Structure 1
Amino acid sequence: MKTFLRWSLLTINMMLPLALLASTFLPYISPGTFWPTGFAGLTFPGFLIINLLLIPVWILLRKKYWLLPVTAILLSAGAVFRTWAIHPFHENTLEKASGSKEFTVMTYNASNMGLQSYTENKAIRSNVYNTVVFGQADILCMQEFYTNEHPELSHNIDSIRIKAGYEYYYFTKDMVYWDTWHYGIVLFSHHPVLQASSIPCGASAVGSGSSFLQADLLVYGDTIRVITGQLASYMLTGQDFQALKDFHFRGLAYKMRQTFTWRAQQARQLAGLIAASPYPVIVCGDFNDVPVSYTYQTVAATLQDAFLKTGNGWGRTLSYLSPSLRIDYILASRQFRVHGCEAMRVADSEHFPVISRLSLKK
């Protein structure tokens, strides 16, 4: 019996470090080529924590097997530092220095401004307004945005412009219902919008995720490019969550597999837009993927992650499922200096907005 237990422990101690390494390195392979890689990064935080727990166990048992999890963790250091921001002594403030050329950028998945089954939830909509006004971002990018031109319904574009004082905006209008119901991605700005366009990137049933919004802005005499969007979502339903609870994974796995492939294509398209930009570029939005993923590594390859530069902890941006889910990002090219970044905890919101304070290096 003792021999069986010893060999069982040894097998587990070998498999768990290998699982951690797989969750770290498989996301470098496109899910379009090998779809299981799309699942790998989702498991990384769990396998990391388990391997950390193995170390004191083997030390207490006075066995050198602790070297296996330690080695796996060291080899996974890059993924660790993409998952957690560690700046305990950095003053992470969003307050702009007086007389500086600093500016703030906010990205916020607004979940259709509280529209549910074509019925407007006034409390949620008001909460979004209050968050936008409180954030006071110079540049505001919103995904899953809804506005209505019907006189008896909410013209959210005009309301936000008035409440937050934005002079400039651009709206993609990815989907239109009944002539007045508009869905898509919107950018608001206190700085002049020199040009803006909607770049198709697929099709989405939610009206956000069908295009990238690309805009060139004049900020303190310099031209910068902002690209924002929402990459393909799993579009999980109540039935999917119930299937998960009942351990019925086949249908859910197929849906996720299709999404992995589509999102990988969008990530490569977005990386191409970044490479083609003649100006310093800021990319922000809802990537619907974690930092240890093919999506993130493809898009962020040449950019700075604002949260990782100045934040602390997980930086959670999704309010449900798991505390490890950071899927909304602000990424900036190396020409920018990142002064601060944080995810704002907002009650009754599916996504937490991310806001960052930036300036151009001179």
Structure 2
Amino acid sequence: MNTFLRSFLLILNILLAVALLASNFLPYIDPASFWPAGFAGLTFPFLLVINLVFLPVWLLFRKKYWLLPLVAIVLSVSAIVKTWAFHPFNENSLEKSADSKEFTVMTYNTSNMGLKYFTEEKAIRSNVYNTIVFGQADILCLQEFYTNDRPDYTHNIDSIRNKAGYEYHYFTKDKTHWDTWYYGIALFSHHPILKATAIPCGVSTNGSGSSFLQADLLVHGDTIRVITLQLVSYMLNGGDMSAAKDLHFRPLIHKMKQTFTHRSAQAAQLAGLIQESPFPVIVCGDFNDVPVSYTYRKISSGLQDAFSRAGNGLGRTMSYISPTLRIDYILASKQLQVLGCQTMRVADSEHFPVIARLSLKK
């Protein structure tokens, strides 16, 4: 019985070790040309934990098979560092010191400010306002932002400026309904906006994700370029989920393959904008992809991930589906110093905002 059990566990561990390595290295392949690579990184945290469990199992059996999961884990160190951050003593890392070069940045997917089926959910909108005021970020980037010019609805731009005291803002207005309902990406700042533009990057039906918001800001006497965005999501609906439950996966896979291709093109376009910037760059927003992914690797090349550098834990930014989903990021050029980073838990929010404290290097 023990021999059979050991043989079964050994075969299982070999398969899981290979799967862990695949989830680590497949994201180096563009999913537009090999679509299974787009799924790989999603499984990485779970495969890592399972391989860790095998270490004491083989020690219990007093077999050297523990080398198998250990080697797979060691070869996955780069992905582990991207997925987990460990800076336990950075609890007060967002408190600015007297250094005049420090500033804070927040990115937050507001899920259309609580607008659902063209009805404004006041409680959700109030939570967004309270989070923005509490964060007190010098630079605020909002994706899936909504505002309305109708007097019987909410003009969220004016409300945020009044509540948080922002002097400057720019809004992409990616989508308009009935002449007064506006959707897109918004940037608010206490620092002057020297130039801002919306750069087309495709077509999105959810009101955010049709353009990159690029703005040059004057921060403590230096110019910094901020690019905030939302990359295309899978936009799965109830019909997709029902089909999957009935084991009809073809429509779901087809939609995901299309998303991989579109997101890959957006990542390449964004990487080009980053390389062309004459100023230090901050890239932030909803990438709709995990740290172990082609999307993340393409965009983050040459940049610092604020959470990886100064955060703690998994940094979950999605409130549902999986506790391992970190898809919202703040990335910064190496000319900037990352001093702190946290995710903020917000009630009744699909996404959790990320806020970072940065400084211009002297």
Asked whether the two chains share a fold, i.e. TM above 0.5, the reply is: yes
Match of 2:190 in 1: 190
- Offset, 1:92: 4.5
16-25 or 254-263, larger mean C-alpha shift: 254-263
Please state whether the residue corresponding to 2:321 is helix, strand or coil: coil
The AA in structure 2 aligned to 1:222 is D
Match of 2:78 in 1: 78
Residue identity over aligned pairs, in percent, reads: 72
- Offset, 1:11: 1.4
CA deviations 1:44-90 (Å, max 9, x no partner) are: 01110110001100110011111000000000000000000011234
Match of 1:309 in 2: 309
CA–CA distance in structure 1, aligned partners of residues 242 and 327 of structure 2: 23
Q: Say whether 1:119 aligns with 2:115.
A: no
The AA in structure 1 aligned to 2:79 is A
Contact 2:109 2:285 in 1 (8 A): yes
- Offset, 1:247: 4.6
CA–CA distance in structure 2, aligned partners of residues 19 and 48 of structure 1: 10
Contact 2:100 2:220 in 1 (8 A): no
- Offset, 1:162: 0.7
CA 1:159–1:89: 2 relative to 1, 3 Å: closer
CA 1:15–1:92: 2 relative to 1, 3 Å: farther
The AA in structure 1 aligned to 2:309 is K
Please state whether the residue corresponding to 1:56 is helix, strand or coil: helix
CA–CA distance in structure 1, aligned partners of residues 99 and 305 of structure 2: 26
Contact 1:340 1:358 in 2 (8 A): yes
CA–CA distance in structure 1, aligned partners of residues 115 and 90 of structure 2: 39
Write the mapping of 1:167-182 to structure 2, written as runs, cut at 5 A: 167-182=167-182
Match of 1:214 in 2: 214
The AA in structure 2 aligned to 1:138 is D
The AA in structure 2 aligned to 1:156 is N
The AA in structure 1 aligned to 2:316 is R
Contact 1:92 1:310 in 2 (8 A): no
CA–CA distance in structure 1, aligned partners of residues 127 and 246 of structure 2: 34
Write the mapping of 1:58-97 to structure 2, written as runs, cut at 5 A: 58-97=58-97
Contact 2:90 2:340 in 1 (8 A): no
CA–CA distance in structure 2, aligned partners of residues 99 and 72 of structure 1: 44
- Offset, 1:120: 1.0
CA deviations 1:179-205 (Å, max 9, x no partner) are: 111110000000000000000001000
289-298 or 91-100, larger mean C-alpha shift: 91-100
CA 1:95–1:124: 2 relative to 1, 3 Å: same
Contact 2:27 2:41 in 1 (8 A): yes
- TM-score, normalization by structure 1: 0.97
- Offset, 1:3: 5.4
Match of 1:43 in 2: 43
Match of 2:128 in 1: 128
The AA in structure 1 aligned to 2:104 is T
Q: Say whether 1:283 aligns with 2:309.
A: no
- Offset, 1:277: 0.3
Write the mapping of 1:1-362 to structure 2, written as runs, cut at 5 A: 4-362=4-362
- Offset, 1:19: 0.4
Q: Where do 5+ consecutive residues of structure 1 fail to align?
A: none
Q: Where do 5+ consecutive residues of structure 2 fail to align?
A: none
The AA in structure 1 aligned to 2:19 is A
CA 1:134–1:56: 2 relative to 1, 3 Å: same
CA–CA distance in structure 2, aligned partners of residues 92 and 310 of structure 1: 11
- Offset, 1:245: 4.6
- Offset, 1:98: 2.6
- Offset, 1:105: 0.4
How many residues align? The count is 362
CA deviations 1:142-193 (Å, max 9, x no partner) are: 0000111111111111111111111100000101111111110000000000
Please state whether the residue corresponding to 1:355 is helix, strand or coil: strand
- Offset, 1:9: 2.2
Contact 1:194 1:218 in 2 (8 A): yes
1-10 or 85-94, larger mean C-alpha shift: 1-10
Root-mean-square deviation (CA, aligned residues, Å) is 1.3
